[in-house]
Amino acid sequence: MMSLTFGNVITRWSFDPLVVIGVVLAAVLYHIGNQATRHLLPPGHRMGPRRWKSAMFYTSLALVVLALESPLDYLSAYLMWAHMIQHLILIMLVAPLSLLGDPALPLLRGLPLAFRRKALARVTHWPPVQALAAAITWLSQPSQASISFALTLYAWHSPSLYNLTLRNPAVHDLEHAMFLGVSILLWSQVIDQTQFRCRMGYGARSVYVVIAAVENHLISVVLALSTSPIYAYANLTARPGNITALSDQQVAGGIMWVPGMFLYGTAFSIFLFKWLKEQTLPNGVTSLAELKATSRGTGPLPRTELHAAVIDVAADSGVLLGAK
């Protein structure tokens, strides 16, 4: 067993072709799509690319590499706290940052035009794809997304499944993919995007985030306050840094508890602030977005107009994007 020193840990980078190719492909498609949109829309158009959105999306991709390809991935086989940091990055950083990057339209427009017109049109008519789309639509409801997130979180932290991830790399990859997927479902309920508007108001979003925080908090309390090791890390004969299995588990619980609650708390504070600000809106104005549009002299953006704008931008692909 190696000793935990900077020199021998920093070189333990991995190379998973699926992760690396996926990250590079997403970055390239996002860039191409944004460039195509810039050429199509006039400067300053409300549906045009924004630098801060690009920064959010590319940061989320960099964090995927950090979580899954950096020495964290190597350490996660020996240290539960490293494994927990991986989960925290995917759930609390990658998912919301990728959504803040507003990636749906850029990724679609980044695909070759011929592929969008022919291949996507055919694929979307396949019964399995239509069944998958129906399932995702059903899961993309606030209550279903919250329940799916909680069930996935609790299932993968059960000793049987958690220990299986330590023995089987493919299962470990599936765990990470499911965490990222249900986290995107969860955060999409509270983060507005150009093509997909949240159903809930800011007050409901703040409550929704608190519920997600409680779901996370219950597991972290069990890990941090447990008096005996729960997972197979206890079977290791030695660990980097000579930390005990119980201490390792308690540190992992603390990481899930404190930084996790801080990030949920930040989201809660933002939504609560926006909700309080909405309570002071002038008569006849129903949302902050409407107030902002009115102050610019452009007027509110009705849902029907939003649909029309999206259709105008995506029409050449033959794939129409709707709003939530």
Q: Does some domain include residue 1? A: no
pLDDT of residue 199: 84
Q: Does some domain include residue 322? A: no
> Whole-angstrom Cα distance, residue 159 to residue 303?
46
> Whole-angstrom Cα distance, residue 305 to residue 292?
16
Q: Does some domain include residue 219? A: yes
Q: Does some domain include residue 128? A: yes
| Structural contact between residues 171 and 165, judged by C-beta atoms closer than 8 angstroms | yes
> Whole-angstrom Cα distance, residue 105 to residue 127?
24
Under 8 Å CB-to-CB from 34, ≥6 apart: which residues?
Answer: 49, 54, 106
Q: Burial of 200 by CB count in 10 Å (0-12 exposed, 13-18 middle, 19+ buried)?
A: middle
Helix H or strand E segment including 203: helix 202-225
Question: pLDDT tens across 26-69, in order?
Answer: 999 999 998 888 887 777 777 778 889 999 999 999 999 999 99
Whole-angstrom CA distances from 315 to 82, 105, 319, 320 are 45, 11, 7, 7
Q: Does some domain include residue 98? A: yes
| Structural contact between residues 184 and 257, judged by C-beta atoms closer than 8 angstroms | no
| Residue predicted with more confidence, 167 or 282 | 167
Residue 68, token pair as written in the block: 């899954």
Q: Does some domain include residue 323? A: no
Q: Is the dihedral of CA 241, 222, 234, 171 positive or negative?
A: negative
> Whole-angstrom Cα distance, residue 93 to residue 165?
22
Question: pLDDT tens across 217-247, in order?
Answer: 899 999 999 999 999 999 888 777 788 999 9
Average pLDDT, the chain: 83
Q: Does some domain include residue 80? A: yes
Total structural domains in the chain? Answer: 1
Query: What is the model's pTM?
Result: 0.81
Question: What is the percent of the chain with per-residue pLDDT over 70, rounded to a whole number?
Answer: 83
| Residue predicted with more confidence, 10 or 257 | 257
Question: pLDDT tens across 175-197, in order?
Answer: 999 999 999 999 999 998 877 78
Q: Does some domain include residue 134? A: yes
Range of the domain at 277: 6-317
